[in-house]
Homo-oligomer: A and B are copies of this chain.
Amino acid sequence: MQGRRTIRSYKKEPIDEESLQRILDAATLPPTGADLLPYTVIVVRDSGRKSRIRQGAEEVEMRYHDSLTGRLKERFNSMGVSPVKPFLTDAPILLIVAGDKSKPYWQESTWLAIAYMILAIENEGLGSVTYTPPDTGFLSELLRLPDNLQPQVVLPIGFAAEQIPPKSSRPQGRIYLEEFTD
């Protein structure tokens, strides 16, 4: 948890099949609503498909960034977040995780599974970025998802081509004892 950093730059080096399997296995282990594992993972390796995903993502990102104003815009600028997403074609594998809206606590459960996956990715010595496109219609179309499956995240995975120092634990400003106080 301490060592994991968001990686946006990847080597072309392929991923061991056993590493991938352990990452996919991790998604089956969190507690989920009524124990139903309400999500699906699509593993994308094909370079043509990755290109189409990148193109779709950059189109929705351009529109989203144009619509931004104020503090959030400044925040993204200061974080170096841009509408250009090279990691979607550079990473050897994209994992798209889609939640099943027909199941109870589908979104909560899906994000527990995503956390398990990003920690399993770190454990394999690989990097990822928790990429949430501002609109996911293009993904549903490209991956032929049925209406009940709502894309939640694209996790590119691969060996990091950048080094980012581990973050220190962050300020504890939002912990309260017994009840909320101003």
Contact A143 B180 (CB under 8 A): yes
- Asked if A138 is at the interface of the complex by the 8 Å CB criterion, the answer is no
A177 to chain B, nearest CB (A): 5
Inter-chain contacts of A4 with B (CB < 8 A): 29
Which residues on A are within 8 Å of B, measured CB to CB?
A: 1-2, 4, 6, 24-26, 28-31, 33-37, 39-46, 49, 72, 75-76, 79, 104-105, 107-108, 111-112, 114-116, 118-120, 129-130, 132, 142-146, 149, 152-153, 167, 169-172, 174-181
Known: A29-B170, A43-B175. 13 other contacts (CB 8 A): A28-B172, A34-B76, A34-B79, A40-B174, A40-B180, A45-B178, A49-B178, A107-B108, A112-B115, A112-B118, A143-B178, A144-B180, A145-B180
Partner of A43, one of B37, B42, B143, B178: B178
Inter-chain contacts of A45 with B (CB < 8 A): 177-178
CA distance A114 to B109 in the complex (A): 10
**A112-B111, A115-B30 given as contacts; is B179 within 8 A of A142 (CB)?**
yes
The residue in chain B whose Cβ has the minimal distance to the Cβ of A145 is B180
Inter-chain contacts of A143 with B (CB < 8 A): 178-180
